[in-house]
Amino acid sequence: MEVEVEVESPLNPSCKIMTFKPSMEEFREFNKYLAYMESKGAHRAGLAKVIPPKDWKPRQCYDDIDNLLIPAPIQQMVTGQSGLFTQYNIQKKAMTVKEFRELANSGKYCTPRYLDYEDLERKYWKNLTFVAPIYGADINGSIYDEGVHEWNIAHLNTVLDVVEEECGISIEGVNTPYLYFGMWKTTFAWHTEDMDLYSINYLHFGEPKSWYAIPPEHGKRLERLAQGFFPSSSQGCDAFLRHKMTLISPSVLKKYGIPFDKITQEAGEFMITFPYGYHAGFNHGFNCAESTNFATVRWIDYGKIAKLCTCRNDMVKISMDIFVKKFQPDRYQLWKQGKDIYTIDHTKPTPESTPEVKMWLQRRRKVRKTSRR
């Protein structure tokens, strides 16, 4: 079992981003390994890296996806100055992965020469408002090979599956996978996941992706800072950071004493974001990532109090009723009466299992066996 980080006891009090290197045996059980990561305090950073075992490959070959269609590429226009920016997306016409790659590698859009990641980061924040890059984002689907069971983004088997199972609801990119084709300077703005869920992101191939993360226990500090800097956005919506339009540079965060950490994800590595973990970042060049959301029982209390965007019709909202009923049965009546009052302890790890989760998994296996007959 390899864990790279000066492991401070107990539970990562410095809230640093941790890197994990599971053996093949440990890697096989996603939920169990996630609970192990949290037992080491990984969730306190809001973001963690997982380097899969050397022999593990989610796809044998990537040479055959040139004709895959990117139905709605977006051009990212950025305005602002002094480390505070707003990003606007303009939808472009559909293109294939091959066309996108050629564009990404063309003189206009390609990565500039750089010395090291720090140098490239400086160039990113300096040139953010100039050439508007194009992002092949939010594409439905997975490029995992069939029969890959470990850490399969389309089949993680977490408690989030009750949404589809019990309610028959499929929410694109939330309980189904999304693909992302990046180029230099394509950006994901500061946000937490829909309903403050967990997320998983695998970088299939290409240039790295740099991430910034704020510990969940300090998330409210970022919100207050953003409200102060973007007052009109804040007045228009209670949760305007969910619009994914707000960029705040690390130098501004430092200046205002907002704790954060950063890390760069290389091809073949996973990133996990944790409930209410604000994150943002950018791509170094042409690459391809796949991601989705997932949940643990620890998430349920986050989902129940997640502050949602009120100004848009297309925002994701999941009814928490089924989760409380199934996994917090002792609190269900209180919850129904609006009396389930609690304070979240961001430091507490998720349990490896609970009697309710065990029961749900057993029932699930039975149903699957019967449906196979």
Q: Tell me which residues are annotated as active site.
A: 173, 180, 191, 193, 279, 291
- Per the structure block, which two tokens stand in for 236? 């228009």
Contact in structure between 49 and 20 (CB atoms under 8 Å):
yes
Contact in structure between 182 and 319 (CB atoms under 8 Å):
no
The alpha carbon of 264 is separated from its chain's Cα centroid by a whole number of angstroms, namely 14
CA-CA distances (angstroms) from residue 110 to 106, 170, 285, 287? 6, 36, 7, 12
- Per the structure block, which two tokens stand in for 373? 């007959």
Nearest C-alpha neighbor of 224 from the set 253, 200, 250:
253
Q: Read off φ and ψ for residue 180, nearest 5 degrees.
A: -135, 125
Work out whether strand 47-50 and strand 18-21 pair parallel, antiparallel, or are unpaired. Answer: parallel
Q: Read off φ and ψ for residue 252, nearest 5 degrees.
A: -70, -40
- Per the structure block, which two tokens stand in for 2? 């390899």
